Amino acid sequence: MKQFLLVIFLIQIVRAEAQTSASSVADSLYVIGNYSNAINEYSKVGGLSSALQIARSYNAVGNYEKAITQYQYIVEEDVDHQLAQLELGKLLLKVNRFEEAKSVFANLTNVNTDNPEFQYYLGEVYKELNKADESLVHYKNAVSLDSTHLRSLFQLAKHYTIKQERDNALKYILEGLAYYENDVSLINLHALVLFNDAQYEKAIPLFERVLALGEDKSYVFEKLGISYNKNWEFKKAKEAYAILLKRDDTNSQTYFDLASVYQKESKLDSAKIFINKAMAVQKPIFANGYNQLAYIAREQKDFKIAFKFFEMAYQEDKSDARIYYNMATTYDQFGSNLQKKLGYYENFLKHYPNEHPFYYETARKRISELKEEIHFAKE
């Protein structure tokens, strides 16, 4: 009997050693990315640990359905296997199976209420389901559990930046930057919040820092160009726009913005050149270009040309009341026909009755004056 038990014990030792050896081979294959052969070796070993590695291997090679099936098998066998559930939930989120992912992460947050990562991923699921209020709750839960949870802080900051809720956005941005001052995504959001708040001087060094940290994106140069222009740093604005035009010389807005810089410098001929370039690449509406050319002509006291360009802009975009108002005021400056002047102002009030109070009052007052002038002219 003792000999029999000894034999059984020795067999178990041999089997354990064989499993350990097979597991080691499978692990070594997995580590170097030889996933298909690793799956075969893990299959020989068996057990939930091997099943988890098989699921990870299928995930790594992009066979997501088999990976999901393997994860689900593990969870069925061990309902408390939180790591398998976490990886399953992340994969379901990745393949847009949001309702299933929500079920997994909701379960994890119920089982383990102190884990900020579970809260974060539940927030991600709700974000994908376009349920912003629910997603914010879980991002905030994650931050309350871990004040340094950068991904949750970023999502909160991004949400409030888009909504242009300045104070809320800054709250989460500054909390994140207090933990990691070189987080380029948060620095970028900080710059955008200040930019949206017209604090261009404060936004400039932040955008410059974003560039220094390697975020060499066109939108950064675009915002910098505008900020430099607003801050009267014309040389730097031109440099930013020059970089943008090297990358894309078909963007009409860049030419218009560059023209604005030259216009501020009173280099009106150069401004005209860039407006015309903008219009050459602009499709299909030219209203903006004609409008800017009209303003330049008016600065040059060439009211007839200004009126012509305002008229052309109006033909392109009749929804913009300001264009028609500028037509009326410009003709008023050079025209001699009182009835025609009166007609422009009356048409303005007729077609754009709900415009800015200043425009309305100015037009109304001018109509009264013109009627009086016409009356005395007749006498």
The confidence score (pLDDT) of residue 283 equals 58
* 376 and 290 part of one domain: yes
The confidence score (pLDDT) of residue 43 equals 87
**Residue 34 domain-assigned (yes or no):** no
* 204 and 222 part of one domain: no
CATH number at residue 228: 1.25.40.10
**Residue 221 domain-assigned (yes or no):** yes
- β strands within 291-356, DSSP E: none
The confidence score (pLDDT) of residue 206 equals 97
What pLDDT digit, counting tens, does each position of 220-240 carry? 999 999 999 999 999 999 999
**Residue 106 domain-assigned (yes or no):** no
Q: What is the pTM of this model?
A: 0.73
| Least confident segment among 261-265, 280-284, 322-326 | 280-284
Peptide bond into 357 cis (omega under 30): no
The confidence score (pLDDT) of residue 65 equals 95
The confidence score (pLDDT) of residue 2 equals 52
pLDDT at residue 121 tops 90: yes
Query: What's the total number of domains in the chain?
Result: 3
CB 251 within 8 A of CB 281: yes
* 246 and 160 part of one domain: no
* 245 and 179 part of one domain: no
* 340 and 374 part of one domain: yes
CB 362 within 8 A of CB 370: no
* 366 and 295 part of one domain: yes
**Residue 120 domain-assigned (yes or no):** no
> What is the C-alpha separation between 119 and 170, in angstroms, rounded?
22
Tokens, residue 319: 């929804």
Last-in-domain residue among 228, 248, 283: 283
* 370 and 314 part of one domain: yes
CB 71 within 8 A of CB 55: yes
Domain extent for 302: 285-379
What pLDDT digit, counting tens, does each position of 163-216 carry? 999 999 999 999 999 999 999 999 999 999 999 999 999 999 999 999 999 999
Q: What is the mean pLDDT of the chain?
A: 89
Tokens, residue 31: 């580590």
**Residue 297 domain-assigned (yes or no):** yes
| Least confident segment among 43-47, 66-70, 210-214, 374-378 | 374-378
Which whole number is the average pLDDT over 281-294?
80
* 160 and 186 part of one domain: yes
**Residue 189 domain-assigned (yes or no):** yes
The confidence score (pLDDT) of residue 285 equals 66
Percent of the chain with pLDDT over 70: 93
| Least confident segment among 3-17, 22-36, 95-109, 273-287 | 3-17
**Residue 21 domain-assigned (yes or no):** no
* 210 and 160 part of one domain: yes
pLDDT at residue 14 tops 60: no
* Integer CA distances (angstroms), 166 to 141, 157, 191, in order: 21, 9, 11
Which whole number is the average pLDDT over 48-52?
89
> What is the C-alpha separation between 152 and 185, in angstroms, rounded?
12
Higher-pLDDT residue of 19, 352: 352
DSSP notation for 87-145: HHHHHHHHTT-HHHHHHHHHHHHHH-TT-HHHHHHHHHHHHHTT-HHHHHHHHHHHHHH
**Residue 254 domain-assigned (yes or no):** yes
* 311 and 375 part of one domain: yes
pLDDT class of 149 with cuts at 50, 70, 90: very high
* 271 and 289 part of one domain: no
* 174 and 201 part of one domain: yes
The confidence score (pLDDT) of residue 143 equals 96
Region class of 319: left (phi > 0), else alpha (psi between -120 and 50), else beta: alpha
The confidence score (pLDDT) of residue 24 equals 81
